[in-house]
Amino acid sequence: MLSEEFISSLSQRGCKAVIYVEYVPVTEESQDLAIGDPERERFSSALSDLRQNHPEIVFVSFPGDEKTSGGCIAAGRGFFHINSHGGAEPCPFSPYSDINVKTSSLKEALSSPLFMALQSQNILSGDHVGGCVLFEKKDQVEALLGN
């Protein structure tokens, strides 16, 4: 998926965006399955080369781009997840919502109290182990909702 041949074939077919999603643990028991720092560094280096060699394609690494984008790119900072019931969640790995897109606009969802609190209280940044800062800070996220 990171090979020059694969990305070149996508480019030749007119691909304009590639999104890499790392495994993100959803339970404490699965945290050891997330890639470690050595693997993340190799992936980041290979992705950097692809970005340089293929400026015609936008590459997004989730959650890998957190360090270069000032923290988690979810929670309304570019992305958010809509669950099967219409709830606007910070991301699929942080399944909490305080607004529903069935009864509000996407613009209103982007400005939900939960998303604004996550951004203003600096919960989306900081070092963490494994895949997802929101998963690791789930107690803080739940506290924002009064759970």
CA gap 131, 94 in Å, rounded: 12
Q: Structure tokens of 102?
A: 């069935």
Could you give the number of structural domains in the chain? 1
Which residues, at least 6 apart from 121, have a Cβ–Cβ distance to it below 8 Å? 140, 144
Buried-state track 9-26, b at ≥16 Cβ within 10 A, e below 16: eeeeeeeeebeeebebbe
What is the reported pTM?
Answer: 0.67
Which residues, at least 6 apart from 101, have a Cβ–Cβ distance to it below 8 Å? 82, 86, 87, 88, 109
pLDDT at 47: 94
Tell me the residue range of the domain where 44 lies. Answer: 4-145
What are the pLDDT tens digits along the chain (147 aa)?
Answer: 789 999 999 999 999 999 988 887 777 787 788 888 888 889 889 999 999 999 999 998 877 777 777 777 777 777 889 999 999 998 887 888 999 999 999 999 999 999 999 888 878 776 666 567 777 788 888 898 876
pLDDT at 97: 93
pLDDT at 5: 94
pLDDT at 41: 86
pLDDT at 84: 95
DSSP-H helix ranges across the chain: 4-12, 37-53, 106-110, 113-120, 133-136, 138-145
Q: Structure tokens of 7?
A: 């990305």
